[in-house]
Amino acid sequence: MDTKKTFIKNPLVIAIDDEKMNLELIGFMMQKNGYRFLGIQQSKEAIVILEKNKPAIILLDVMMPELDGFELCEQIKNNQKLKDIPVIFLTGKNNTENKIKGLQIGGVDYITKPFNEHELNARIQTHVALAASKLKIKNQALALEKDNALKDKILSIIGHDLRSPLSAIKMQLDFILRGIIEPKSPDFVDNTVQNLNATTDEALNLLDNLLNWARSESGVLAVIPEEIQLREIANQIQRLNSMALENKGIVLTISIQEEAKIKADLNLVKTIFRNLVSNAIKFTPKNGSIKIMTQLNQNFWEVSIIDSGIGIGKEDLLKIKNANSFFTKDGTENESGTGLGIGICQNFIKKLGGKFSIESELGKGSTFTFTLPAIKD
């Protein structure tokens, strides 16, 4: 059920009154005017019933034997789940002191019995519309706050993390143009060109992560499912990281069954593999090893990326598992990062209907595991 549409188009009115006849009369009026209605006769049971049903508006009698309306209204306004629901007091007492007290403790209106049906209906419509407008403004404010945080994070990454590799590329190109680095020197390809290539890859990977993260956070990320063979993706990622693997002397082994197929968004799956393998390379010392393996677990393919790296301490592991944080450390060869990668992986895996887990111990390597829905031949 769409609660926002229900709230505006077919609101639930709950009346609390110890007189059964009053509840029947109010219920008749409400249903006649197109509202859903629920009556509560025992005021002590009201909070539990209100929490379960979350009405658009509450009609509250003042004089009741167990809890009077003022006491109950205070409980409603102190309840996080109910405090934003408008309360209209209904009472036979027509004195200024009671009206002021009702408004001071959080009531939005005060109607004296016997009330006119049209007046009651008009006031309910007014306060339901006001409450809906407040909710809309509140949601817009939260969305704006989120957008501003997203913008600030993007600007921070562009200003610091993306600027760093681009500055390094620019500096080396300047050295070449000035003749400080000689293109004809024996180590030009092995050193300069490889450094430029690695730094460019770092910048492109960072930019790709940044764009993916921004699309995901802003809610415009499209998921287009298609049949994917996991071994093909792993082979592509191995080729993409061949230079980084070679530079650190790391052996990457792929052990994925031919029948390991899933139905998911290709770009999201590639991003997950790329970030997890890049992370494994970053934290695996020279001459280490990385293994990508799969196993079928009921209706899911379980993918594990296992490295012989430096491992993760308990405190850092808690920070990494928090998908909303941006925790990062330099790699074994001082490779830098933004902390976006693992968070993006967790987000994308969840969008694809899978689960993510990490097992790690300092000095003994790490295992990153995720599941994705299987296609069975």
The string of pLDDT tens digits covering residues 77-132 is 999 999 989 999 988 766 777 778 888 898 898 888 887 888 888 888 888 888 88
The string of pLDDT tens digits covering residues 297-307 is 889 999 999 99
DSSP β-ladder status, 12-16 and 57-61: parallel
- pLDDT for the residue 4: 42
Mean pLDDT rounded to a whole number for the chain = 84
The answer to whether 282 and 291 have CB atoms below 8 angstroms apart is no
pTM (whole model) above 0.75: no
- pLDDT for the residue 5: 41
Longest dimension (CA), the chain: 100
Domains and their CATH numbers in the chain: 3-115 (3.40.50.2300), 222-377 (3.30.565.10)
DSSP β-ladder status, 300-307 and 366-373: antiparallel
Three-class SS of 191-232: HHHHHHHHHHHHHHHHHHHHHHHHHHHHCCCCCCEEEEEHHH
Average pLDDT in the 264-279 region? 89
pLDDT at 323 over 80: no
The string of pLDDT tens digits covering residues 26-71 is 999 888 888 899 999 988 889 999 999 989 999 999 888 888 889 9
- pLDDT for the residue 339: 64
248 pLDDT band, cuts 50/70/90, is very high
- pLDDT for the residue 120: 86
The string of pLDDT tens digits covering residues 126-171 is 888 888 888 888 888 887 887 777 677 666 656 555 676 788 788 8
